Structure formats: C-alpha cells, structure tokens
Amino acid sequence: MSAKVGVIMGSASDWEVMAAAAETLEAFGIPYEKRVVSAHRTPDLLVEYAKTARGRGIEVIIAGAGGAAHLPGMVASMTPLPVVGVPVKSRALNGLDSLLSIVQMPAGVPVATVAINGAKNAALIAVSILALSDGEVAARLDAFRTRQTADVLKAEL
Ligand code: RP5
C-alpha cells in the first residue's frame, strides 16, 4: 500500500525523536514513508519532495527539525497538504529555537506545531486527519482513546 503520511526530518540525528512518530503510525497500521530532507543541506530535494508529495498519494506530512528549523515551514509553502511540525530539542537552546522557528508562520501558510519532541502527538494528529475519511482508522483511534482512558483510571500509586 502506498504511503499516506510522509515523515521527514532535517537530519539523521532527528531520528531518535522522530521514531516515535513512525512507531505510532505503525501501531495504527498507517502506511508511511520516512527520509531525511534538509532545508539547508538538500534544498533541491526539499522542493522536489514538497511539490510531488500530494501527487504520490501522501495526505499528511510530519516534518521534524531542530535549531534553525525551516523544514516544516518551507515544505508547507510548497504543498497544500496539512503539515505537522515537530520542534526537535536542540543542544544549545533546549528546543526553544526549534519551536519558535516552526510555530511563528505567516498567516496563509500554516504549520500545525506540536510540543518540543512531540513526535507521537504529530502522528496522532495525522491519524485524526486520516480518520476523517477512513472508518477503520477512526475505529482504531476511538479504541486507542478508550484504552488510554482505562489505563489512567486503573493506575495504582
Ligand atoms: C537541523 O539541525 C536538524 O533538523 C537537526 O535537528 C539539527 C542538527 O543537525 P545535525 O548537525 O545533527 O545533522 O537541520
């Protein structure tokens, strides 16, 4: 089955964080692709990826980057697909630089930004979007929420 979610990141060093998105998509049975696309080191690839994603059947893009985190915003500027941005915790500024680089987009070109290192929630947003048009995914999301609530209610301290 062709990928419905594109998980991209600025560097292989982001994988430690972005793997949580991949694991979550796998848990929901969502076909996805993953690759390094750097806004600064591979700008031509960035343009190609963003411009061809929809035509290849991708429905949501999850983009993680750290520091001068321009990847999610630049991708969003070149595709109408929903883009979820994951600020990756940086060494120098603990990810505040990443967060501000991603979240403060100009009106008209949105990036749905999650928390610093919030890759799992980025995937859950992608699942929610896909659930709008896929009943099976919606049922899995409902079951996940039910399970999560039950786990909290039965927690013993
Ligand atoms: C960004 O710079 C990447 O997204 C990564 O978070 C950060 C550091 O990259 P490396 O120097 O580890 O490749 O482009």
Q: Which residues span the domain enclosing 93? A: 5-153
Domain tally, the chain: 1
Secondary structure of the chain in HEC code, one letter for each residue? CCCCEEEEECCHHHHHHHHHHHHHHHHCCCCEEEEECCCCCCHHHHHHHHHHCHHHCCCEEEEEEECCCCHHHHHHHCCCCCEEEEEECCCCCCCHHHHHHHHCCCCCCCCEECCCCCHHHHHHHHHHHHHCCCHHHHHHHHHHHHHHHHHHHCCCC
pLDDT digits (tens, 9 = 90+) for 82-141: 999 999 999 999 999 999 999 999 999 999 999 999 999 999 999 999 999 999 999 999
The closest residue, in CA terms, to atom 5 on ligand 1 is: 66
* 44 assigned to a ligand binding site: no
Asked if residue 66 has its Cβ within 6 Å of ligand 1, the reply is yes
* 134 assigned to a ligand binding site: no
Question: 57 CA distance to ligand 1 centroid (A)?
Answer: 28
* 11 assigned to a ligand binding site: yes
What is the predicted ipTM? 0.96
Q: Residue 66's domain is classified under what CATH number?
A: 3.40.50.1970
